Copies of this chain bind each other. A is one copy, B any other.
Amino acid sequence: MLKPLGDRVIVEVEEAKEKTVGGIVLANNAKEKPQTGKVVAVGAGRVLDNGEKVAPAVEKGDTVLFDKYSGTSVDYDGQSYLVLHEKDLVAIVD
């Protein structure tokens, strides 16, 4: 198991779905748009200047939106994940 450190969050990236029009698969032309993924692990959080620890505001299982150029890709147990800092998470998709 991977346990992210600090304010990091580990995400299983969702493949951007190809759009189809009448059964014809169209290449995804929104390459610059953020991507979504499912949170699989959350770090203990960052430490404030007053010594307080602030846990990331997301939980395991959340679907999150993040900028596609942020994060570090890691492989673990034959599966590829993305490790992101909390600040790189844009929104929760509810």
Contacts and interface: CB of A to CB of B under 8 A. Distances in A.
A67 B30 CA distance: 22
Query: What is the count of identical protomers in the complex?
Result: 7
Interface residues of A, number: 40
Interface string A36-64: 00000100100111111010011000001
A89 interface: yes
Contact of A33 (B1, B54, B74): B74
Interface of A: 1-6, 8, 10, 30, 32-34, 41, 44, 47-52, 54, 57-58, 64-65, 67, 72-76, 83, 86-87, 89-94
28 contacts: A1-B93, A1-B94, A2-B65, A2-B91, A2-B92, A2-B93, A2-B94, A5-B58, A5-B64, A5-B86, A5-B89, A5-B92, A6-B57, A6-B87, A8-B90, A10-B91, A44-B57, A47-B48, A48-B49, A48-B51, A49-B49, A49-B50, A50-B50, A50-B51, A51-B52, A65-B74, A74-B91, A76-B93
